[in-house]
């Protein structure tokens, strides 16, 4: 496993603590109960949210595992997104999608209904790896 993969794995492992340890963020997501797919290169991570708390993150491929929406990007794209002050185009998942650096798929209703929460969850590793 290369250095970047270790950084990504560490960020994903720390994500529940970063989110669940932030009372304002948990409150913001209190109405969200879903599982979404966060894909980094070819590595899938299934993030289960219950009432704004990350209940579980499962990695690896799984046949017929369901998810409501997916945000997919390369390792480099996620690392740029997680910089303390990302450059324009890397600061937001929709900016990344617009420039072709990420894709957003699936049922967009739970994403759009909880957009600020989801964006903050996906940006939470900025507190760890900085710029």
Total Cβ atoms within 10 A of residue 9: 15
How do the domains of the chain map onto residue ranges? 3-129
Model confidence over 33-84: pLDDT tens digits? 999 999 999 999 999 999 999 999 999 887 889 999 999 999 999 999 999 9
49 in Cβ contact with 33 (< 8 Å): yes
CATH 3.30.1050.10 fits 3-129, yes or no: yes
User: 32, 20, 30: which is closest to 113 by C-alpha?
Assistant: 32
51 in Cβ contact with 40 (< 8 Å): no
Model confidence over 18-37: pLDDT tens digits? 999 999 999 999 999 999 99
Quote the CA–CA distance of 48 and 32 in Å, as a whole number.
Answer: 10
For 16, half-sphere exposure in the C-beta direction (CA atoms, 13 angstrom radius) is: 13
């Amino acid at each position: 496993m290369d250095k970047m993969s270790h950084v990504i794995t560490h960020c994903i492992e720390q994500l529940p603590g970063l989110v669940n340890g932030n009372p304002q963020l948990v409150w913001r997501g209190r109405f969200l109960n879903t599982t979404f797919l966060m894909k980094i290169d070819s590595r899938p991570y299934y993030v289960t949210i219950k009432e704004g708390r990350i209940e579980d993150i499962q990695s690896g491929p799984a046949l017929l595992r369901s998810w409501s929406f997916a945000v997919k990007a390369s390792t480099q794209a996620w690392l740029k997104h997680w910089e303390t002050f990302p450059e324009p185009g890397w600061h937001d998942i929709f900016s990344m999608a617009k420039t072709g650096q990420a894709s957003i798929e699936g049922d967009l209703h739970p994403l759009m209904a909880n957009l600020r929460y989801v964006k903050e969850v996906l940006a939470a590793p900025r507190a760890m790896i900085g710029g």
